[in-house]
Structure 1
Amino acid sequence: MASVRINGAKITDWASFHQIFKETCGFPDFYGMNMNAWIDCLSDLRAEYGMTQFQLANDEILYLEIHGALDLSVRLPEIISELVESTAFVNSRYLGYGQTPPLAIIFIG
């Protein structure tokens, strides 16, 4: 089981959101710091292009643990909304390839 722990209290804006995900998921130096780039990186979880530090097996899931999610959803609801939407997009992409969706979000407190 692969997982990343995101401290929602450290997300203060879009720049910090992208920096935290870049660090915790091992996105490359050329990561574009936007949601299109986030989707592209996390669409590589079962490929071998090195867009993340993870290389998942076909049935493996990467759990995104968002700690302090309730506070984050009050402070920055657009970030939570976009995170959910983008995660769904990545999972839909994998379903389109006939594969198991690779992402699950766990909202904690």
Structure 2
Amino acid sequence: MQTLVIPVPADRITDWDSFHAVFADCLGFPGYCGANMNAWIDCLTYADDAEAGMVSRPVPRGTLLTLRIDEAAAFARRCPAQYAALVEGAAFVNHRRVEMGQPPVLALLMVGAF
């Protein structure tokens, strides 16, 4: 399976506002996208649907969008709620897609010692 890797500078995440701002910046969420996990999940569920316009660089169908979380261990210690939401949200995106009869679209690559 092919993959597109997008680096996410987790060192810039300090709270919920910065969490959503960093992901919106890295992934190019539309301006009307809310700063909450429901919107995050909605945008990434359609990461391979160019017509939906939910990310600025949609991946081709059958390709994984891999979020490379830089400094993941430090992020997990600094922002445990946001880290947990990231992991759970990514799992839910793929679960939702499977329920819709589509392949998973999202992977997480955690970089940084744990």
* TM bracket, shorter-chain basis: over 0.9
> Which residue pairs with 1:96 in the alignment?
99
**What are structure 1's unaligned runs of at least 5 residues?**
none
What letter matches 2:92 in structure 1?
F
Which residue is equivalent to 2:20? Answer: 18
TM-score (norm 2): 0.90
Q: Deviations over 1:40-63 (max 9, x none)?
A: 111111222101113222310000
Does the Cα contact within 8 Å between 1:58 and 1:99 map onto a contact in 2?
Answer: no
- Alpha-carbon distance between aligned partners in 2 of 1:58 and 1:98, rounded to the nearest angstrom: 13
Structure 1 outlier segments of 4+, above 2 Å: 54-58
**Kept after mapping to 2: 8 A contact 1:64/1:104:** yes
Which SS does the other structure have where 2:23 is aligned? helix
> What is the percentage of aligned positions where both structures have the same residue?
40
Aligned to 1:36: 38
Normalising by structure 1, report the TM-score: 0.94
The alignment of Structure 1 onto Structure 2 pairs a total of residues equal to 109
The range that moved more, 68-77 or 92-101, is 92-101
